[in-house]
Amino acid sequence: MTQPEAGFRLPRTVVPRAYSIDLSTTPRRRGFSGRVAIRVELREPTDEIVLHARDLKLAEATARAGRRRHGARVRYQRERETATLHFDAALPTGEVVLEIAFSGRLDPRMHGLYLARSGPEVAVASQCEAADARAIFPCFDEPDRKATFEWTVRTDPGLTVITNGVPKGVRVDRARGVAVHRFAPTPVLPTYLVAVAVGRFEATEEKRVGGVPCRVVVPPGKLGQAAFAEEAIAAVLPWFTRYFGQRYHYGKIDQVAIPGFDAGAMENAGAIFYRQQLLLLDEATASWQGRKEIAETIAHEVAHQWFGNRVTMCWWDDLWLNEAFATWISHKAVDEWKPDWRIWDDFQAMRRSAMTLDALESTHPIYAPVATPAQATEMFDAITYYKGCCVLRQLEAWLGEEPFRAGLRAYMKRFKDRNAAGADLWRAIGAEAKRDVEAVARSWTEQPGFPLVRIEAAGERDGKTVLRVSQRRFFAAPGSHEGEDAVWSVPLQIRWSGAREPHAILVEAREAEVVLPGRATWVHGNADAIGFYRVELDDALLDAAASSAGELTPAERQSLVDDLWALVVAGRASIDRFLDLLAALAGETDYAVLQALSARAAVLLHRIADGASAGKLRAFLRTIFAPSLDALGWDAAAEEKPERAVARAEAVGALGSLCRDAAVLDEAEARAESERRDPASIDANLAPVVVGLAALRADKRRVHAIVAEYLARRERRASPEEQGRWLRALVAVENAAALRAVHELTLTETIPQEQLPLILRGLFSRPAQALATWRFLQKNWEAIVGRTGPMALSRVVESLGRLPAKHKREVERFFAKHPVPEAERALRQALEEIDLYEELRRREAPRLASWLERAD
């Protein structure tokens, strides 16, 4: 547990109550200035006050206590990101108003107050999470220092201003050429939720949803892309109101499409900021997956208005309370709105990423100590979001929906407008469910890693199948034993033949016996893949499950593939068994299962197969995916369901990218050209795949053509999805000269700042590009860092785990000279991944070659 006075924490003797911020800024200038008045309560007399300030110049700092005003000298502690106000006399206990003038410069890395830019679109915008409000105005920048905020913003006439508060009015001072925008005070908020945006925007007509004024605010010319966002918030906002049993609290909701945004979206109270591709779409050219991604993002941010904004974590060590919860309930909300969208099947890819990360020795518990701003930033990862979501989902499945919701409502009611910790949540749910939820939950939130649940057939008893179940911590690396004695309270849900409902049991010991209520011909140890654990079936049970795969749900087929692959990586299963399972699933036509198959096939091809066996592996993979495309066809049938279109795209992508099927690549290039001429001529689900495949064989001239198409779409304000399919095609190029051209583009405004990390991560995804990209990254590190936000930079560092093992020492030496505090854990994970896959390659490459030889 982080000590309150340790590290970067402020003294507890000063309690902020209300901020009045008067900010002057414009996109025309790189500097900003303002004044802040902070009403605080002093719990004891003091002649100095410490608050947060980073890269700010403070002037005219005073404190008003009663009728007396005290001047202050300012001393900065740069390494602690604080400033201390020293007064000429001790300030008395009670209410004091601090008044401070400040100035600063717009941050080049899309945090604090920064210039958001995407082509011709420019605005000033804020991003304060985790600890960047201190870079905009001096403040008490910690989540448990909640206060009200009243904004006044001075800027150029004709610009739009959005803040957390409800607008009160605009006064134009024509003599000075300034428009003064005033806003009503907010309810109490932590500083990481304050928000301001200034620029040329247009807004949809205000619509009341459950009595709440709602708008979508967009850059000029994009109002036609806001209708789906309006539809989504009209669906989810009333749902959350009913679910929590509390009305929305912040006066209005502006959903703002920011020209450049490091985070995907940010739940600022009353003023939610988004990347444009996560808010806007063109109904005529939108993909099914694109709609779902936007809907889930909107639901996630709206959920935060209750869980995170209304009830806030005490400190960043409980960040999962915000993010895991919003991830879980956003999927739940969208699933209830659009059950045919199969949003939980989509979540399996996120679950997969979290389990991959959590199987490393360098993982961390969901709840982990945080002392510095950099450590707080590190917590925004797959463990916090996706593992935490899985833990909540499996607890709800164990307890039942109604007791779980009753506990959440009790928790929200008790802690509204206050701060809470994880233990408070578990106690509230436990009281309603009448179970010791805290003990079960702590085994998942306070321990790193997760269990491997082994299930063995133990015969029959009275016509019922008996299973032996055991658990141990799962590690990806063979021979890892740290924390091996850990035991989890596992809400096990076993799907078995002939049963309508899974058999549920809480396994709390290292070993247990499970008696199913009937005779089972097959079992699956994780019904609908709800649980956050790996399953190891004995050989007979695995054979039975594989032969009965058609009776499993898509999520269960995914987890069957994922679990067996994880066992191969860990040295607990042979690669032969995994290849046999792939062969058994040849011709799969479910999109979610095809995604799992192609993800594992890519690892086989790019990280295990040697040069001699790569060709035979491509031929084998063709036997897996070609029957799928034969069944699905290139063209949609009449009244086709969208999941079939996505499955087609997955099959085409696998055959083109992995198998390098010449006929598929030729057809993809032809269809990409059709899409270039008319974006609506190609199914939106297939379009990004064919455009990406067409870039595989691109030369430098073709790269310039791809960029020209992207820029033309940006110029005509095409939807973010239409623009993005051409921009992201750049990650597919393999020709050396073409790749150099892509690298050079990352240093220019052609590739927007927010897209830069995605492009770099994509370039590390294939060996043909990874090494050259690493060389480029080292040579241009300062420029890349200058264009990349701290959260996104850690994801780039994490991608270095794709490099060959012989470059591991090179990576270590480079980051010893160029440390990135926000990416220390990501670096450890990348280095561990390099070792893990080198061991796997050495061990399994000969076996892979032998199996392919026999199968040929």
For residue 7, pLDDT over 80 is answered with no
Percent of the chain beyond pLDDT 90?
95
pTM passes above 0.75: yes
**pLDDT tens, residue by residue, 583-601:** 999 999 999 999 999 999 9
pLDDT at 466: 97
Q: What is the pLDDT of residues 738-785, one digit of tens each?
A: 999 999 999 999 999 999 999 999 999 888 899 999 999 999 999 999
CA distance 675 to 693: 13
Let me know: does 504 contact 528? Beta carbons within 8 Å.
no
The pLDDT score that the predictor gives to residue 3 is: 37
Catalytic annotation present for 301: yes
Tell me what pLDDT residue 156 has: 98
* Cis peptide bond upstream of 130, omega within 30: yes
263-295 per-position pLDDT tens digit: 899 999 999 999 999 999 999 999 999 999 999
The count of other CB atoms within 10 Å of the CB of residue 189 is: 24
pLDDT, one tens digit per residue, over 161-193 is 999 999 999 999 988 999 999 999 999 999 999
Alpha carbons 852 and 846: distance in angstroms, whole number: 10
pLDDT classification of 6: cutoffs 50, 70, 90: very low
Residues 6+ apart with CB under 8 A from 249: 187, 305, 306, 309, 310, 416
Q: What is the per-residue pLDDT for 1?
A: 31
| Proportion of the chain in helix, strand, coil states, percent, rounded to 5 | 50, 25, 30
Q: End-to-end alpha-carbon separation of the chain, Å?
A: 58
Question: Nearest to residue 785, comparing CAs of 830, 825, 815?
Answer: 815
- The mean pLDDT value for 79-99 works out to 95
CB 554 within 8 A of CB 345: yes
pLDDT digits (tens, 9 = 90+) for 336-377: 999 999 999 999 999 999 999 999 999 999 999 999 989 999
- Give residue-wise pLDDT tens across range 205-245: 999 999 999 999 999 999 999 999 999 999 999 999 999 99
| pLDDT at 436 exceeding the cut of 80 | yes
| In the block, residue with structure tokens 């591991």 | 808
Q: What is the pLDDT of residues 596-650, one digit of tens each?
A: 999 999 999 999 999 889 999 999 999 999 999 999 999 998 889 999 999 999 9
Mean local confidence (pLDDT), 519-533: 97
Structure confidence at residue 487 (pLDDT):
96
For residues 332 and 299, give the distance between their C-alpha atoms in angstroms, rounded to a whole number.
Answer: 9
**The predicted structure's pLDDT at residue 648:** 98
Candidate list 301, 822, 832, 833, residue with the active-site label: 301
Instruction: Answer whether residue 5 shows pLDDT above 70.
Output: no
pLDDT at 2 over 70: no
pLDDT at 638: 86
pLDDT in tens, 130-159: 999 999 999 999 999 999 999 999 999 999
pLDDT tens, position by position, 774-827: 999 999 999 999 999 888 999 999 999 999 999 999 999 999 999 999 999 999
Helices (H), 585-735: 591-603, 611-632, 642-653, 662-677, 687-694, 700-715, 720-727
The residues near 14 (Cβ < 8 Å, ≥ 6 apart) are 40, 41, 42, 43, 46, 49, 50, 51, 140
Burial 524-558 (b: 16+ CB within 10 A, else e): bbbbbbbbbbbbbbeeebbbbbbeebeebbbbbbb
User: Residues 15, 44: contact at Cβ < 8 Å?
Assistant: no
Q: What is the pLDDT of residue 504?
A: 95
Token output for 815 = 């980051």
pLDDT digits (tens, 9 = 90+) for 696-746: 999 999 999 999 999 999 999 999 999 999 999 999 999 999 999 999 999
- CB-side exposure of 53: number of CA atoms within 13 Å? 24
- H or E segment at 139? none
Proportion of the chain above pLDDT 70, given as a percent: 99
